[in-house]
A and B are shown apart, each in its own frame.
Chain A
Amino acid sequence: MSKGARLAVVLVFVAVGMGMIVFGVMTYVRENPPTVDFTTGHRPGAPVHLTIQTVGTIGFGPHPSWVSYLVKAPDGKWVHTTLWKVPAHTTIDVTVLEYDGATPLRNQFYGEVQGVGNTYTVNGRHMSLIKATSTAAGVAHTFSVPHLGINIPLYAVPSSESAHECSSAPCHPASAHQTITFSFNSGGVHEDRWQCFIPCGAGWLDGNGGPMQTIGYMGGFLEVTA
């Protein structure tokens, strides 16, 4: 084999190797949980019913011990994702099945219900403010969309019922839980991040690492489309 041919072979191998590395990195970087679509088949003017649950430990996947959100897809199956697509200018009726115990809020400010009028209920009872300074009872998580002005404290399962807590997702309503409901209007076409404001990433710096900084667990995007 001539010197030129050998050089060409080496260059081809280097190019293929580089390409594989770039492909691998980009695939990893662009990897996202699935998006649950509530727009398909949606009748204009009709509300969207969004049912989600919060669990103390997801129980499966690469991080089984992490706290997480799940969402019920239109087909009734629970999906482990925090990426939701909803129609614009539509009332979103949300039901949260909250299965986790209390974590003190870093800032009690997030114990106040904001941005959903008087639609917020816990087990059917209207509330507007939850004291969240103890682990015995209070707030487990929040569902907050800062740019829509929405903050929903999720009332926790009291420590007295810890024996009946769900240990892995998806949790069944037979486990101890709180049912929280509220409604908001999705507004115009946009995309907003949402997150939990409880430092519930136990064991991470300031409680805000791990599941708090991983899409699919305690934060995600609300995609509002036409």
Chain B
Amino acid sequence: MTATDGDRRDGGRADDPNRRHWRFLLLVVLVGTIIVEPLLWFVIRVHMPPGRQTTAAQGDQFDATVLTMMASPVVIAVLAYFTYAMVVWRHPKGAPLVDGPPIRSNLKVQASWLFMTSAIVMGAFVFGTYELIVPAGAGGGEGPSPIWTPTSKTILPVQVIGQQWQWTYRYPTYGGFETTQLVLPDNTWIAFHVTSLDVIHSFWAYQLGVKADANPQVDDVAFTKTQQTGKVTVRCDELCGIWHGAMYNYGYVVSRSSFNSWALRTEKRQAPLTKLLPPFSWTYSPSANGAGGGYYPSSIPFPSSESYGKGASGPEGNLPGVKVSHKGLSGGQ
């Protein structure tokens, strides 16, 4: 650049030879932003991970799109400036090297920089916090006493049990049967109760936008509402030993009627096994060493369907307005 001392002292007025450079760069950023932002919103957004299979996933997709839209003018400005500097301000081949004018502070530039960076960071902070609250915890594990809960009257509880090295699932409103299959009804609020029988695992149902740590003796609750049928990939996202990488399986979101018939069929088929399982509980208490002979008794009993969700007993007292349909899911939302 070739700004003179006089140019900088007067704040860069009409006689500033750099003005045309800044005007051009500003124009490039504006035009670029006008082109890129609608593309991000109307074209890219629907392809953003993790999809729209649940409200939490759709929320993740929305958040990722908005944050990308917030970042894109900055990226365009940086790229435009670099490109412009490399092309326009390149030192001509063979020209003598001349020291440039001294660089002095510019209050306007400094204030603008501070204002813009603060606005971007605060914007991301406020947006992120809001988005975490509004969609009932955004699919994240909220611990045993969730602060943000759905207002739906019907929520299906599904217990997720991590153990070295496999996920199993219990359905307390269907007799507490246990299975390796994660099957969920479409168009239904789900409360995942995630726990572990040994070390710390992390339940990550990618397409559902749900991720919750599985800690032994902790009932980590995460909510989401299914809104599309399809396949779900479940992975462990916490390094948990030699077979951590193999600790994945697949689940399915199916129609309500398909789910109901699957659940009732599985409940019946698994009845002999269910009798031998410990009574359904939100957590189980492993001994320090299972090889020592310790079994895993219930430590927090599952309340009856009458008290569940009404704040009468157990950790679910912290789920205001939640009432579980005991059998079937024909009820409305």
Name the A residues within 8 Å of B246 (CB-CB): 146-147, 193
The residues in B between 88 and 144 inclusive whose CB is less than 8 angstroms from any CB of A are none
B290 engages A104 (CB within 8 Å): yes
B296 pairs with A106, CB closer than 8 A: yes
Q: Contact at A206–B289, with CB atoms within 8 Å?
A: yes
> Among B166, B178, B273, which residue has its beta carbon within 8 angstroms of that of A129?
B273
Q: Is the interface of A mostly helix, strand, loop or mixed?
A: loop
Contact between chains at B178 and A109 (CB < 8 Å)? yes
Quick one: which of A108, A112, A131, A208 contacts B198, CB cutoff 8 A?
A: A208
Q: Are the C-beta atoms of B289 and A199 separated by less than 8 Å?
A: yes
Determine if A204 and B289 form an interchain contact, defined as CB atoms under 8 angstroms apart.
yes
Instruction: Answer yes or no: A87 CB below 8 A from chain B CBs.
Output: no
Instruction: Report yes or no: B273 in contact with A208, Cβ–Cβ below 8 A.
Output: no
Asked if B273 contacts A109 (CB within 8 A), the reply is yes
Which residues of B lie under 8 Å from residue A147 when comparing CB positions?
A: 246, 249
* A152 CB → nearest B CB, Å: 14
Residue A123 is within 8 A (CB to CB) of chain B in the complex: no
Across the interface, do B243 and A219 meet the contact criterion of CB distance under 8 Å? yes
Complex contact A107–B296 (CB within 8 A): yes
Q: Considering the chains assembled together, what is the distance between the CA atoms of A193 and B166 in angstroms?
A: 12
Check A74 for interface membership: any CB of B closer than 8 A.
no
Please report the C-alpha to C-alpha distance between residue A103 and residue B161 in the assembled complex, in whole angstroms.
21
Q: Is the CB of A129 within 8 A of B164?
A: no
Minimal beta-carbon separation of B284 from chain A (angstroms)? 8
Chain B residue numbers with a CB within 8 Å of A133 are: 276, 295
B38 at the interface (CB under 8 A from A): no
Contact with B along A78-116 (1 / 0, CB 8 A): 000000000000000000000000011011110110000
Give the chain B neighbours of A144 by CB distance below 8 A.
166
| A206 partner, pick from B164, B168, B276, B278, beta carbons under 8 A | B164
Q: Please name 13 further chain A to chain B contacts, defined as beta carbons within 8 Å, in addition to the given A103-B293, A133-B295, A199-B198, sorted by A numbering.
A: A106-B197, A106-B198, A107-B163, A129-B273, A129-B276, A131-B276, A133-B276, A199-B289, A199-B291, A205-B199, A206-B289, A214-B242, A219-B242
30 contacts between A and B (CB under 8 A): A104-B293, A106-B163, A106-B290, A107-B178, A107-B197, A108-B277, A108-B278, A111-B273, A111-B276, A128-B272, A129-B273, A133-B295, A146-B165, A146-B180, A146-B246, A147-B246, A193-B246, A195-B243, A198-B291, A199-B198, A203-B289, A203-B291, A204-B289, A205-B199, A206-B289, A207-B291, A207-B292, A208-B290, A215-B242, A219-B242
Nearest first, the 3 closest Cβ-Cβ pairs linking A and B are A199-B290, A207-B291, A206-B198
